[in-house]
Amino acid sequence: MNSVNRIAIIDQMILEQPDLRDLLELRKMILQAQKSIRETSTKGTTINWDDQSIIEGFKRKAQTSKMPLISSISTSTFDVDKLLQMCEQIVNVLIKKEVGKEELIMFIGELKCGKLKLSELIDAAIREDADFYEKLNGRFGVKASLLLFIVDMLIQPCLEEIAKKTGSSFLNEWRKSSCPVCGRRPVVAWIKEHKRYLACTLCGAEYLADLFLCVNCGNIDPPTLRFLTPNNYPAFRVDFCDKCKHYVKVIYKDRIRTPIPKGLEDIMTVNLDFIAEKVGLIRV
């Protein structure tokens, strides 16, 4: 689905879900900032993703190393100049939404003048190097999670393209909780035909996972893997682990009245986050 169609869907959902307006509008503005990259075949890299042999090579490496597909990409293949332009647009979106100001201005300023290397941020995001982003937090006063979000949005078009071109057989044979494409731990799952599919809201990959598996700590002990079904939300539940207290939001495919577009699962289930936090559960 192209950016124009995604934006049109979000506009409709804003009308239908006015209580989610702020979150949906932010997602819309991010999509608009990503538009120029999404419309290219390289998706912010120097790789032509129409060459299916590249994906096949990534899959062979992943099967051997048990590492996600993104680990096969060298940061040198990202078009840093184009991504820097998009980064500035995303930062401007966040400032407009009053998500920081002076701190983000300093951050983008150091990126533009070269004091901070965007390639290093991308590399740390791919490796999920939390310490790297915590150091940047101390340097700029910007939360590590926000900085990682910005960089994730830069590489998202590339990740989505990889996920789109990766066959379902590879995804469903992964059998791990972390995403087979980008390595992130999912916060949402779907129940389809009595099977649980984890959904990565960063790259869009959906992959089969055991019904009894904590995506945070890997616990597979059924008595300690529980769920709660909130009142008035029969199409949803919260799966949680008694050992680590982390949770995943679950959507029943055959029970929802209005389809939830790919990539918006987390936003459209935000009420489940409030419910989970009230009983002391922790978001993955």
Q: What value does the CA radius of gyration of the chain take, rounded to a whole number of Å? A: 19
Nearest to 167 by CA among 35, 17, 63: 63
How far apart (Å, rounded) are the C-alpha atoms in residues 255 and 253? 6
* CA end-to-end span of the chain: 28
Residue 79 shares a structural domain with residue 196: no
283: which 2 tokens? 């978001």
Helix (H, G, I), strand (E, B) or coil at 34: helix
Cα gap 127→116, rounded to integer Å: 18
* Final residue of a structural domain among 165, 180, 211: 165
Cβ proximity of 33 and 89 under 8 Å:
yes
Q: Identity (one letter) of the amino acid at 233? A: Y
- The pair of structure tokens assigned to 228 is 């709660």
Last residue of a domain, one of 137, 165, 193: 165
| pTM: predicted TM-score of the whole model, two decimal places | 0.92
Total count of domains within the chain: 2
Q: Are residues 105 and 179 in the same domain?
A: no
| CATH number of the domain bearing residue 241 | 3.90.1670.10
Residue numbers of the domain that contains 63 = 3-165
pLDDT tens, the chain, 284 aa long: 677 788 999 999 999 999 999 999 999 999 999 999 999 999 999 999 999 999 999 999 999 999 999 999 999 999 999 999 999 999 999 998 877 688 899 999 999 999 999 999 999 999 989 999 999 999 999 999 999 999 999 999 999 999 999 999 999 999 889 999 999 999 999 999 999 999 999 999 999 999 999 999 999 999 999 999 988 888 999 999 999 999 999 999 999 988 898 899 999 999 999 999 999 999 98
For 264, half-sphere exposure in the C-beta direction (CA atoms, 13 angstrom radius) is 24
> Looking at the structure, do residues 132 and 270 belong to the same domain, yes or no?
no
Q: Which of 146, 165, 184 is the last residue of a domain?
A: 165
